[in-house]
Structure 1
Amino acid sequence: MSGRSDSIRVQINKSKTRFTTNLLWKNNEKWVLGSIIPLVLLIIWEAAARVGLIEAHLLPAPTRIIQEIFEMGAGGTLFSHVGATVFRVATGFFLGTIAAVLLGSAVGYFTVLEKLMDPLIQAFRSIPSLAWVPLFILWMGIGEPSKVTLIAVGVFFPVYLNIVSGIQGVDRKLIEVGKIYGFTSTETLRKIILPASLPSFMVGLRSGMGLGWMFVVAAEIMGASQGLGYLLVVGQNTYSPELIIASICLFAGIGKITDALLKILAERSLRWQDSLSNQR
């Protein structure tokens, strides 16, 4: 009897261990799989640099770049540069998103406003980002307002387009259901249109954040004294490829973190959807 109890206890412990392992793998699967290719590329890069296949003055080894980042951190300059860039992106992202939500909601909901405003906005969207730089410097100088405004412009267009597309793509049958239930225009907007357009809006936020990180480079190149874009200019002027690539890696890492946060927000906001991603 005692042997049978021990056998059952062993089976229970094995089941618990298997369940815990499966749970840990499920929670970390995307991080593990997503890190395989970057790690392989880093190993190849490091090996090629050590055997001399890659010239150090053109493309330093990953260990040299990591050393450069740690040296900036030890010197106290890393966090000031990262903080300045993150502040500019966050401020520009907030302002651009607010403007896009207000204007995009109105244009998407009211046909008259779409006919009046959308052609002009689409024309502005075709203007390259660097074309705004001299104009913003002329209007606002080389201080923070011009940089934040340039980032906000970059964020505005993808968020605006996705909001308009999301609102105009709402199924008319849902609107008819709201009319059957006697919803007012405000209730229809709040209970039907906004939830139905939320997936498109979240895609717009992620796209806007990505463009915000792209536009901050142009913003910081135009006369900044701090920021990761400023480090790119310093690395170019001082012929320091390790500083340039370190700044690019920091852009990539912080940009990935912000995108991951927005993705988590989107997943939690859209749990009510019966979608393929929610079934995985």
Structure 2
Amino acid sequence: MSATPPSLARPNRLDPLDDWSAGQPVVPPKPIAWRRWLGLIPPVLLLALGELAVRAGWVSPNLLPAPSDVARTLVEFGAEGLTRHVLASSGRVGLGFALGAGLGLVAGAAVGLSRHVEALIDPSFQALRAIPSLAWVPLLLLWLGIDEASKVTLIAIGAFFPVYMGVSSGFRDVDRKLVEVGQIAGLRPVALVRRVLFPAALPPVMTGLRNGLSLAWMFMVAAELIAATKGLGYLLTDGRETGRADIVLAAIVLLAVLGQISDTGMRWLETRLLRWRDTLDSRH
């Protein structure tokens, strides 16, 4: 019998880089189901180590309560108490992020699309970006008082700059050849932005939105340290003033969970909006 012709031989798909070097389209490997559970290993090990350290007497429970004690504190708050604090913080983050991200999208697009606008406002924004979050607190208290306006404004400031940086760099770094092809095709400026510039800039835009949402949660804690009567930042302050490390850790756990949930939502949106990408490490 004659050997199988090389053209009909079964291709080797063990290494996608082989396809790339041979000029063939790279087929990303399908995600393995058990990989999604790998992220649980570090926190589970950390919780087990913390429980062991407290029960064995290696660490004082007044300084580092056992995870079981923190869980008991969360149960003692009750569904109504936890809901009140979570909704208060989530509402402030949602409103502040919407305001800051919206302004960041507009300002970033203007800077990325116009060198004149960039020369006019970018140096000022870069200087403001270097100001620490707590430095804004006294000024916001003088201007807006201790009500919700000052808290939402501080969160919006935190969300603005990552979104602004992502959008401006995304538009600025679009491949010039794509723009030239769009112009050759006769696209008008608005259509060029909608069909060429915006899709090409979308990956860094989504990265800026994710970073902005993360910073919004961080600035929320600083905002609720102003004069809040509810919220996770208030729980942090209350735990510190009463010497209850379990309350402080409970608030930190809730912040971590809420931050992870919101980031997962942004990642899902990013995957949906960028499903057209042909990348080596596809996560669809």
Task: Give the TM-score of the pair, scaled to structure 1.
Answer: 0.89
Segment drifting more, 195-204 vs 36-45: 36-45
**1:54 and 2:59 matched:** yes
**1:87 and 2:104 matched:** no
Matches within 5 A, 1:26-65: 26=31, 28-65=33-70
CA distance in structure 2 between the partners assigned to 1:279 and 1:209 by the alignment: 21
Matches within 5 A, 1:18-167: 26=31, 28-74=33-79, 76-167=80-171
Output one character per residue of 1:248-280: Cα deviation in whole Å (capped at 9) or x when no partner. 010001101100110111011111001123267
- Classify the secondary structure of the residue corresponding to 1:278: coil
Cα deviation, residue 173, structure 1: 0.2
Cα deviation, residue 28, structure 1: 4.5
Does structure 1 conserve the Cα–Cα contact (< 8 Å) formed by 2:113 and 2:172? yes
Output one character per residue of 1:128-184: Cα deviation in whole Å (capped at 9) or x when no partner. 110100000100000000000000000000000010000000000000100111010
Does structure 1 conserve the Cα–Cα contact (< 8 Å) formed by 2:271 and 2:283? no
1:210 to 1:279, Cα distance in 2 relative to 1, 3 A? closer
Matches within 5 A, 1:99-248: 99-248=103-252
Q: 1:256 aligns with which of 239, 260, 264?
A: 260
CA distance in structure 1 between the partners assigned to 2:225 and 2:140 by the alignment: 13
**1:272 and 2:276 matched:** yes
CA distance in structure 2 between the partners assigned to 1:163 and 1:29 by the alignment: 35
CA distance in structure 2 between the partners assigned to 1:134 and 1:231 by the alignment: 21
The AA in structure 1 aligned to 2:138 is P
CA distance in structure 2 between the partners assigned to 1:81 and 1:54 by the alignment: 29
- Classify the secondary structure of the residue corresponding to 1:205: helix
The AA in structure 2 aligned to 1:210 is S
Cα deviation, residue 27, structure 1: 6.9
1:201 to 1:231, Cα distance in 2 relative to 1, 3 A? same
The AA in structure 1 aligned to 2:271 is E
Q: Count the aligned residue pairs.
A: 255
What's the C-alpha RMSD, in Å, of the aligned pairs? 1.3
Cα deviation, residue 30, structure 1: 3.8
Does structure 1 conserve the Cα–Cα contact (< 8 Å) formed by 2:161 and 2:212? yes
CA distance in structure 1 between the partners assigned to 2:233 and 2:32 by the alignment: 35
Cα deviation, residue 31, structure 1: 3.1
Structure 1 runs not aligned, ≥5 long = 1-24
CA distance in structure 2 between the partners assigned to 1:152 and 1:59 by the alignment: 33
Output one character per residue of 1:6-62: Cα deviation in whole Å (capped at 9) or x when no partner. xxxxxxxxxxxxxxxxxxx95743431000111111111111111111111000000
CA distance in structure 2 between the partners assigned to 1:83 and 1:279 by the alignment: 31
The AA in structure 1 aligned to 2:204 is S
CA distance in structure 1 between the partners assigned to 2:186 and 2:138 by the alignment: 53
Structure 2 runs not aligned, ≥5 long = 1-29
